[in-house]
Structure 1
Amino acid sequence: MPDPRFLQIHTLTSYTGALLNRDDSGLAKRLTYGGALRTRVSSQCLKRHWRTAEDPHALHAIDGAEAAFRSRDLVTKLVLGSLEPEDVAKAIEPAFQKAVYGDKATTKQGRQTLLFGNREIAWLRAEAERLVREAAGDPKAAATAATQWGKDFKKNIAAMREGVALPGGLTAALFGRMVTSDTSANITAPVHVAHAFTVHAEESESDYFTAVDDLSEDEPGADTIQETELTSGLFYGYVVVDLPCLMENLGPAAVDLAGAVLHNLVHLIAEVSPGAKLGSTAPYGRASLMLLEAGDRQPRSLAEAFRTPCDPDMAAATDALKKHLCALDRAYATGEARRMLSLSDAVFDGAEAGTLKEIADWAAALPGRLV
């Protein structure tokens, strides 16, 4: 097997009578593909559930992981929050808001929602405490010092970021970060996530429901009458991990940390479900099929297998996936190494079958091949 540059993860996962991901009107998100309307789960939705999962394989539980926070209130709540004396802290706030969020940071609405890591926030807090301490209770002196501090902010925080591992936290190291006010703070995402979509035409219904007023004297006592949308479907999911980029983002402990990240990410993709309306639909599912591929050539989605909608069952979807993969192998012969998990007896060319733990362990060993 060539040294692996990319890990590709393909999944087929089924959900029944759920509302996994809603649009601004409260309806299921959709995608038109191959002339047929499909139910969709956005990549943003998928990534958030994997990032925040409270799970035995949670990303934040990995040894060496650093937390991060995404907010417009990083300065207000995490940098200056509870800093005393309050009038001096307020005097330096405009300079800190501008440094972090840019020239339009005078109002919360004008700020970009930014992702900052614990180490960046700790550095900012330490700088704020220093300025307040040196001002000796004088708000005007503090404001003047903070303005001067702001002029060197980009240079100083850049030096801090270069000197520590995971300055933007594990979240930024995996899923990237864009800071429009400071392009040097941008982090390239090594984990690329496609929108998941049903391999068949959408299956949806409008669910009419009522809420009964237990204290009503009327019969039947319906207090609320509403409708919601429910969908069912077999979803194709696709994730790519750029391994050299991942190791660069993770820093000095890259090999061990990258292995742990890949191990847990494979588990999360297979086992953690997106979904709203948990109490009324229990939208929990696990991948019925997971195919991992490692290789050194540009990745390619297998979504084309479902451009023509297949029958809404696992056997039809698996056959379509195998047929398309075989065609790609014949035409391109890129030689990816493969491992797979399947709830059926499906067999893919060159793919050794195993349990979820076994294929996750295989993925975890890939970074070691790059050193």
Structure 2
Amino acid sequence: MTNQNLYVDINVLQTVPSSNINRDDTGAPKTAIYGGVSRARVSSQSWKHAIRESFKANDITTGIRTKEAVQLLADKLNEIDTSLDEDAALVKAADIFKAAGIKVSKDNETGALLLISPGQIEKLAQYATDHDELDKKEVKTLLKSDNSLDLALFGRMVADNPELNVEGSAQVAHAISTHEVVPEFDYYTALDDLQSDDTSGAAMLGTIEYNSSTLYRYANLNVNELAHNLGESSAVQGAADFIKSFLLSMPTGKQNTFANKTLPNYVMITVRTDTPVNLVTAFEDAVASKHGYVAESVKKLEDEYQSTLRFVDQPVSTIVLSDSKYHSKLDDQAANLSELLKRVTEVLTKAVQDEDTTN
């Protein structure tokens, strides 16, 4: 795509009310110690899952993470070659994965979860139908081609055969609150509808821990790596789809209990050619306020952005989308999400075209 490095930083401030969107093993909201105080935390894995679900909801093809890839391939073989019975298709499908160096159990399951795209299943099935002998190199090549967007973004690790690994083009940070959080507990009860009126007491009682926070969320994207994984023609649109889903998605933990689905209050997207920059250091000194955290968080984030320019190259572009209640000191601002995505797409397209012209 281009010899020049091309990175996209996505910085988001988002207020979440009483919630428990990402729990630890005790059922409590995840936390982290940063700057010497406890912060609310939402794991990157949790938000990546939410992004993948957003892709599905928007009809963007996603991969399938499963131990039953053999069965998926056997089903596709049966679609293409109706003369194969189910047992023969399973044997053939297992042989294909074994040829790629992936261990298959007697139950036709892979030893670990395997992320595989529908396109890879389709191509492997067609290859197996067209060839009586399996070429290991060809099979491996097919397993690394036609990646889905989530596979291209988040990568794939195959312990059985590292040749089949896909280096992820996106990095997603654990979201943390810009301020200190103190855990709170909701004590709740439930009554039995058939309980007689003269019977007192609850049929069930319990507690749930929750907190509320202004989260700093960060992700970056290596556009060249995305082009390598996804194909040059699809990389810029893939970047736009990722940005949109990152901004609008949210993990669904305890969503029915708290109805905590909110939208970002502030977004800063920066396109760079030197290195990604996580601006979380803006909040190492936790924000303290009795009148809301977003306004001060916006100020600290933009101050940190300006400060980092002493250490890195001038970005190709920095575009801000902010809730009208919060003032941004940066000049380049988008009016709405559609405009933000359009302008980022234009910047990436131009950067790619300019580099191609000079080569």
RMSD (Å), alpha carbons: 2.8
Go from structure 1 to structure 2 and tell me whether the alpha carbon gap of 1:120 and 1:347 turns closer, same or farther (over 3 Å shift): same
Instruction: Tell me: CA distance 1:272–1:90, structure 2 relative to 1, closer, same or farther (3 Å).
Output: closer
- The residue type equivalent to 1:318 in the other structure is V
Displacement of 1:305 after TM fit?
0.8
Contact 1:273–1:283 under 8 Å retained in 2 = no
Contact 2:169/2:223 (8 A) holds in 1: yes
Distance 1:317 1:113, change over 3 A: same
Q: Is the 8 A contact 1:7 1:293 kept in 2?
A: yes
1:211 paired residue among 174, 180, 190: 190
Alignment of 1:212-361 (within 5 A): 212-217=191-196, 219-220=199-200, 222-253=202-233, 257-311=234-288, 313-329=293-309, 331-332=310-311, 334-336=313-315, 337-343=317-323, 344-361=325-342
Equivalences for residues 169-184 of structure 1 within 5 A? 169-184=148-163
Offset, 1:213: 1.6
User: What SS does the aligned partner of 1:80 have?
Assistant: helix
Aligned residues: 337
The aligned counterpart of 1:199 is 178
- 1-side partners of 2:94 and 2:143: how far apart? 23
CA contact (8 A) 2:96 2:139 kept: no
Structure 2, unaligned runs of 5 or more: 79-83, 354-359
Kept in 2: contact 1:208–1:226 (CA 8 A): yes
TM-score if structure 1 supplies the norm length? 0.81
Deviation string for 1:69-92 (max 9, x for gaps)? 11111113x122495534444555
Q: From the superposition, tell whether residues 187 and 86 of structure 1 become closer, same or farther in structure 2 (CA, over 3 Å).
A: closer
* Ranges in structure 1 where 5+ consecutive residues have no aligned partner: 135-147
Residue range with higher mean Cα deviation, 242-251 or 345-354 = 345-354
Q: Which residue is equivalent to 1:365? A: 346
Conserved 8 A contact 1:261-1:364: no
Deviates more, 1:340-349 or 1:14-23: 340-349
Q: Distance in 2 between matches of 1:116 and 1:75?
A: 11
Residue in 2 that maps onto 1:8: 9
SS in 2 for 1:332: coil
Report the Cα offset of residue 106 of structure 1. Answer: 4.4
Match of 1:187 in 2: 166
Tell me by how many angstroms 1:220 deviates: 4.2
Query: Counterparts of 1:87 and 1:291 in 2: how far apart (Å)?
Result: 54
Corresponding residue SS for 1:363: helix
